[in-house]
Amino acid sequence: MASNFERRLRRFGRTALHHNSLEFWQPLLKQLLDRFNYFAAERAQAQAPGHSVAIGFSEDCNYNAIAKTDDEGDLIAISANVPVSLERAFNRALCFRCVMPFVGSFDDNHVDPEPIDPKDLVRGVTSHVPRIVPSNEITSYMATLLTVIAMDFVFEHEMGHIWNGHTSFAKALGLSGYEEIESTPDGRISEIDFQTLEMDADVFAGTAMTGERLLPQPWLPEIADWENKFGAGSTMLSVQMFAVYFAFRILDEAATLANVKTRKHPPIYVRHFHVLASWAGALSRRTGRDAKETNEMIRSVTWGAEGAFAALTGREVDPAGITVGYSKEATDYVGRLLKNWPRLRPQLDPLKRGGNLSPVTEF
């Protein structure tokens, strides 16, 4: 008998991942699904007792994730291709000497892997590029940790669509749900509204990532300079931010805002920075961590992730994305989304699942 998740996803025209599929990856998928269900239950207990979300993986590879609300409730489906692609990409990246050298060194016989086409980084399930893992055990642990962190962000972004009322808003307009893939928006929601909602979901996820979600990792070496300069826990924070930035980066999108008026999602380089900036702001409010210093960390982390991507793909480190992210053009674009937020927020307020939407004046 099909589960509630499988049946409802089929009604949406998608297929749930069969429990015998991707046998090698099943332990990772189970670990992630257990985490997601725990996070969902924890948030419901705190903010909306009795609320539940049907969560699972899909075998479809033509989207990253779906968030939807229907007559039976809320649902999140994540393509199994996403964690598989990320696990493969993080493992391969950490096989390069130049990537996160503080984690562990390679012996003199180590040879960096051959660069690969960026398209193969996001085709984990169907890629013909062999999966490789670092010979250093600690570095291999790091690849798994990075995968889990990046997937936490993917899940929390989808939770943002549900908890902040986006899926109920779409349902009222006759849209079946949000699919996380670049495509032309449905005409029932304008491009700027779609992009504003995506920004809100990103901010929700960035804020959620400030919670204590990860157990201490006794194998993780500390970056002494960072711990001394930025405070205790800065090594783990830098690892978390690296994971999220790199997960965006492997999409390998052109660093431009030229086509912004016809997009469903904000350009990834802009998303990078408002996600991490909202993260820094939330940390400052919750823990008192200095936001200016955190943003200094962000700049360093993003350069490190750009270096990892360059090594993976055999390219020179390209500052174009960072330049665009900090440009006046990007600032003006985000300003337009923020100006649109006061128009959308009152419509979402009665639809949210608990908690508070961002004030109309700021994210």
Dump the DSSP string for 108-172.
TT--PPPP--GGGGG-TTT--SPP---SSHHHHHHHHHHHHHHHHHHHHHHHHHHHTTHHHHHHH
In the block, tokens 């609320």 appear at 51
Which pLDDT tens digits describe the chain residue by residue (363 residues)? 458 899 988 888 889 998 888 999 999 999 999 999 999 999 999 888 888 999 999 998 888 999 999 889 999 999 999 999 999 999 999 999 999 999 987 888 889 999 999 999 999 999 989 999 998 889 999 999 999 999 999 999 999 999 999 999 988 888 777 777 555 556 678 889 989 999 999 999 988 998 877 888 899 999 999 999 999 999 999 999 999 999 999 988 888 898 888 888 888 888 888 888 888 888 898 888 888 899 899 999 999 999 999 999 999 998 898 899 889 999 999 999 999 999 999 999 999 987 777 766 554
Query: Residue 33: is it exposed, middle or buried by C-beta count within 10 angstroms (0-12/13-18/19+)?
Result: middle
What's the pLDDT at 12? 82
Amino acid code (one letter) for 122: V
What's the pLDDT at 187? 65
d(CA 199, CA 195): 6
What's the pLDDT at 60? 87
Among 281, 132, 311, which Cα is nearest to 210's? Answer: 281
Residues 6+ apart with CB under 8 A from 104: 134, 136, 137, 138, 139, 221
What are the percentages of helix, strand and coil residues in the chain, rounded to 5?
A: 55, 5, 40
What's the pLDDT at 184? 55
Query: Residue 73: is it exposed, middle or buried by C-beta count within 10 angstroms (0-12/13-18/19+)?
Result: middle
**Predicted TM-score of the model (pTM):** 0.94
Go through 178-212 and write b for each residue having 16 or more CB atoms within 10 A of its CB, e for each that does not: bbbeeeebeeebebbbbbbbbbbbbbbbbbbbbee
CA 361 to chain centre: 25
Q: Within 13 Å of residue 345, how many CA atoms lie on the same side as its CB? A: 16
What's the pLDDT at 272? 84
